[in-house]
A and B are shown apart, each in its own frame.
Chain A
Amino acid sequence: MARSVTPQRKAINTIAAWAVGLVIFFPILWTILTSFKTEAQAINDPPLFLFFDWTLENYAVVQERSNYMRFLWNSIIIAGGSTVLGIIIAVPAAWSMAFVPSKRTKDILLWMLSTKMLPAVGVLYPIYLIFIRMGLLDSRAGLVIVLMLINLPIIVWMLYTYFKEIPGEILEAARMDGASLKEEILYVLTPMAIPGIASTLLLNIILAWNEAFWTLNLTAAQAAPLTAFIASYSSPEGLFYAKLSAASTMAIAPILILGWFSQKQLVRGLTFGAVK
């Protein structure tokens, strides 16, 4: 029997859900609002909510002072490149784990995930030294590789979960039909897993876009993405909250828009396997 929900209860639930949503969204909203204030208004006490002199001055200054497009371009290449590269490597890996598992498959999956539990700073030195040796410091290629490796366990895990849902008989049919392993993965498995691959792609672009530890530590000027762009405005010598906010808003805008339009896909992707 379906549980009956009274209108009052429904109203309370709705209000509570909106409240939680607003609390979560508030920092982002505040950042965006602050970006339209003057520096004086930004640190006004009591804080100003909506009634201040809206200005675009901060954006103009930020735009003038730094080359936003270059940071944006770096972000796109690093986030997109690492995700695509990761997926190319993860599809065959997830295929073998989902369809020809061995006794150790579960252990390997857990071991891969365990690497995510290591604090990143723990391997900063070795990675930094390797980067110097290989001349990868402050290069986009280096960051693509590092971010790909960092997100690979998540990509493999997600794809593995999606692949598990695909009936093995269809792949066997492809094998009977004369498909080689490559053709089986390319023409049968991948098209069937497109929704899952798309969610994986989106989530990992977001993760890579927001990654700040490695992008800040391994870049200087050439390969610096938007995280570095934000960081350059949080200077210890002065409090330029409005400009920092404007820079932040510019940095998160692309990913926020991407996330907004793909939220259905993202939610579906993240709950895949949990509900059937």
Chain B
Amino acid sequence: MGRITLDKVTKSFGATEVIPPLDLTIEDGEFTVFVGPSGCGKSTLLRLIAGLEDVSSGQIRIDGNDATMVPPAKRGLAMVFQSYALYPHMSVRKNIAFPMRMANMPQEEQDRRIDAAAKALNLTDYLDRKPGQLSGGQRQRVAIGRAIVREPSAFLFDEPLSNLDAALRVGMRMEISELHKKLATTMVYVTHDQVEAMTMADKIVVLRAGHIEQVGSPLDLYRAPRNLFVAGFIGSPKMNFIEGEEAAKYDCHTIGVRPEHITISGSEGAWSGVVGVSEHLGSDTFFHIHETGLAETITVRADGEVGFKHGDRVYLTPRTDMLHRFDTKGLRIDA
């Protein structure tokens, strides 16, 4: 079991309030991702749950029990750090065994769990190596192995993939997702990468300056962002925001339209502009359109075969059913 409840939790460092009063429930077995720009307090929030930082006020409950004052070791949570935080002087086997050794688990049980974890994480051949002799991806697997063997009630991941190269990151993303499917244990995952958040999460918590901007499933956040911040943060490339006359037509202050919801044409459309930079990804092409009179740049996603060039005049048509409307405060107006 691993249901984590934060009740009016705050955190201040000296006079600086990093987390204003915050309520959040993470359901048992859920994969929850904290996402937000750097400095939004997502790591601090995770460390509060872990017990590595003390809350300034409020209560943290794990499975209904007050854990606010419980030391990290006694919370039954396992953590995977960005820097892996392996013990450099111990072999992989000893690293993975460490939490069990601290719990005085019988040796046979330790060995059984180490072997199972090593097998699951493809580490069997590396058990006698030191962390320094492993690649980044292997190190991260050892860190995950060290977390698994404890059979914790929840896993906490603090940007675990940011030190890996792009290809490895995609692979590890899958592995962690699969691990979650297999173990069905609560996982709390911190990242600044919205792609990681979208692909892995059951539930995304978008944070800004310690505030929760929105909580929801990835598609909820994509389809119905509650405000301009979430709208701009979730989705890649970023949503286009248009203010002024065009927005007034829709009875709001700002309209938002995603690049994938605009069709581009050489002959006709609602808006017109001139092609600036185009980014060719092969499968898709992103056009940055200028001189539309709507916003400085409108980004459009088109099929990879669409071949407009720099300086071409093009016409754009947004899908009106996919428009997002926001009021003067930047809050969503539901249709």
Q: Are B102 and A167 in contact (CB under 8 A)?
A: no
In this assembly, does A179 line the interface, its C-beta being within 8 Å of a C-beta of chain B?
yes
Give the dominant DSSP class at A's interface. Answer: helix
Q: A192-B88, A192-B89 are in contact. Are A177 and B81 (CB under 8 A)?
A: no
Judge if A145 is at the interface, Cβ distance under 8 Å.
Answer: no
Contact A172 B85 (CB under 8 A): yes
B126 within 8 A of A: no
- Contact of B252 with A by CB under 8 A: no
User: In the complex, what's the smallest C-beta–C-beta distance from A22 to chain B, in angstroms?
Assistant: 41
Q: Which of B71, B85, B86, B88 has the largest number of chain A CB atoms within 10 A?
A: B85
B150 located at the interface, meaning its Cβ lies under 8 Å from any Cβ of chain A in the complex: yes
A188–B85 touching, CB < 8 Å: no
Given the complex, which residues of B lie within 8 Å of A187, measured CB to CB? 98
Question: How far, in Å, is B151 (CB) from chain A's closest CB?
Answer: 13
Q: Does B300 make an interface contact (CB < 8 A)?
A: no
Across the interface, which residues of B come within 8 angstroms of A180, CB to CB?
73, 102
A176 to B88, CA, bound (A): 17
Contact for B102 among A169, A172, A178, A191, CB less than 8 A: A178
Pair count A-B, CB < 8 A: 62
| Contact yes or no, B103 A178, CB < 8 A | yes
Q: Which residues of the partner chain B approach A165 to less than 8 Å between Cβ atoms? A: none
Which chain A positions have C-beta within 8 A of B81? Answer: 169, 172-173
Does chain B have a CB within 8 A of A60? no
B33 contacts the other chain (CB 8 A): no
Interface residues of A in 168-204 (CB under 8 A from B): 169-170, 172-180, 183, 187-188, 191-192, 194
Q: Check if B20 is an interface residue, CB within 8 A of chain A.
A: no
Q: Could you give, for residues 154-174 of chain A, a 1 whenever the CB lies within 8 Å of some chain B CB and a 0 otherwise?
A: 000000000000010110111
B residues near A167, Cβ cutoff 8 Å = 83, 85
List residues of B (71-122) whose CB comes within 8 Å of A's CBs.
Answer: 71-74, 77-79, 81-83, 85-89, 98-99, 102-103
Chain A residues whose C-beta falls within 8 Å of the C-beta of B86 in the assembled complex:
170, 173
Judging by beta carbons under 8 Å apart, are A175 and B73 in contact?
yes
- Bound-state CA distance A187–B98 (Å) is 9
Within 8 A of B (CB), among A128-164: none
Determine whether B40 belongs to the interface, using a CB cutoff of 8 Å to chain A: no
Q: Which listed residue, B52, B71, B88, B99, touches A177 by the CB 8 Å rule? A: B99
Interface residues of B in 143-159 (CB under 8 A from A): 146, 150
Per the bound structure, the CA–CA distance linking A175 and B50 in Å amounts to 10
Q: Which chain A positions have C-beta within 8 A of B146?
A: 173, 177
Query: Is the pair A178, B73 in contact by a Cβ cutoff of 8 Å?
Result: yes
Bound Cα distance A178, B100 (Å): 9
Given contacts A167-B83, A177-B98, 6 further A-B contacts (CB under 8 A): A174-B98, A176-B73, A177-B73, A177-B146, A179-B73, A183-B102
In the A-B complex, the 4 residue pairs with the closest CB atoms: A173-B85, A177-B99, A178-B102, A178-B73
27 residue pairs A–B, Cβ–Cβ below 8 Å: A167-B83, A169-B83, A170-B85, A170-B87, A172-B81, A172-B85, A173-B81, A173-B87, A173-B146, A174-B87, A175-B73, A176-B50, A176-B52, A176-B72, A176-B73, A176-B79, A177-B78, A177-B98, A177-B150, A178-B99, A178-B102, A179-B73, A179-B102, A180-B73, A188-B87, A192-B87, A192-B89
